Structure 1
Amino acid sequence: MKNTKRVFALVGVLLLLCIPVLLVIGAFTASRDSAALFKASIFCAIVVPIMVYAYMLIYRLIKKNNKEQIDSKQINKKDDQGGIDNQ
């Protein structure tokens, strides 16, 4: 799991480092598509970090809910076996 997180983090860092490079290339090239590429690069510079943060937040919430469900199932299982008395 740690290696997977490291790989995704490395890919994210590389993407974030490529965005300014694309901005510079788009600014210095004089083609008819350079304005559109520049706008797309700025859009990516804003949206990519927001999306990464949102994915991380959702992952934490889902992981937390799964852990709570597993814990409640274990408690209910112990109650059925007579291990814990809630009275």
Structure 2
Amino acid sequence: MKKVKRILALAGAVLLFCMYASTLVFALTDRSQTMGLLKASIACTIILPVLIYAYTLVYKVTHHDQDDDDTK
């Protein structure tokens, strides 16, 4: 279970890095459609970590008994 958590954490970190990089690229380019992409990228960099945090909270609450069995 720990390997799965580490892989998911790494995937989330890579995804966040890509979103931050795309936000920077969209902010520096000057095209007509870039403003919409910049707004979407900023929204995703805020919404995605919040959703991941909420998912982990729900997972901890719903699988609390199973996690105690894995630690032994």
Which interval holds the TM-score relative to the shorter structure?
Answer: 0.7 to 0.9
Question: What is the deviation of 1:11?
Answer: 0.4
Q: List runs of 5+ in structure 2 lacking aligned partners.
A: 67-72
Higher Rg: 1
How many residue pairs end up in the alignment? 66
Q: List runs of 5+ in structure 1 lacking aligned partners.
A: 69-87
Pairwise CA RMSD of aligned residues? 1.4
In the other structure, the counterpart of 1:11 is 11
- Aligned-residue sequence identity (percent) comes to 38
Higher RCO (Cα < 8 Å, 6 or more apart): 2
Q: Taking structure 1 as the reference length, what is the TM-score of the superposition?
A: 0.70
Aligned equivalents of 1:58 and 1:33: distance in 2?
Answer: 37
- Runs of at least 4 residues off by over 3 Å: none
